[in-house]
Structure 1
């Protein structure tokens, strides 16, 4: 397990918390598959499928937040969007490397040392402020 859900920060909007929770599940499944692939317990197609699932989920996650920020005129939208775009660029680069080299260590290293710390920090900072702002307009359960 890369990130324990109990340790993951919560924000003021339940829809965002739900999206984050799903993403942590997908991220952890991908991470476990990489470890299992490195031990010869699963095939490369399993890692491919879970990596695709993870990439699609991140894109949907970012799109959901960006749509709300645009709809309600979030003051820091350009900065938040820029951070999403930066991470998507990184993920596209990692995906390209993965498809070219099939090196599980590169993917594992990125998830451990880049994505996991980033997502926790991003939620604690940008998403927390964003959710507080959006909670004035969006009421979900």
Structure 2
């Protein structure tokens, strides 16, 4: 009888421990998914972080022209002609949140605290890439 009680206690303790581990794993997966890090994926409307992501419209004249039109209607109020205004200068190589294509995409898509609005609800991914292509076309070349 005593051995049975010890065995039951051990089984119950192991079951409780397994339950806590399972709960912790599920919470970790949920947090990673919410952060856009689960299995190398990203949150909806974003691109993978890193300098290796390249703009699919880079250097394409038609895309640059379309990006110019989008910039004029959505961005010029703060960034003027790209040289800055209420928003920072976009023609130099100084970028507050990083200047890689992926980082600029994230800034446009998700916005930034302190003034930069999120455009992912209004601009498609292609439109954001075209705006980036336009910005690159007006950037100061050393």
Same fold (TM over 0.5): no
TM-score (norm 2): 0.26
Structure whose alpha-carbon radius of gyration is higher: 2
Structure ranking higher in helix proportion: 1
Task: Using CA pairs under 8 Å that are at least 6 residues apart, name the structure with larger relative contact order, 1 or 2.
Answer: 1
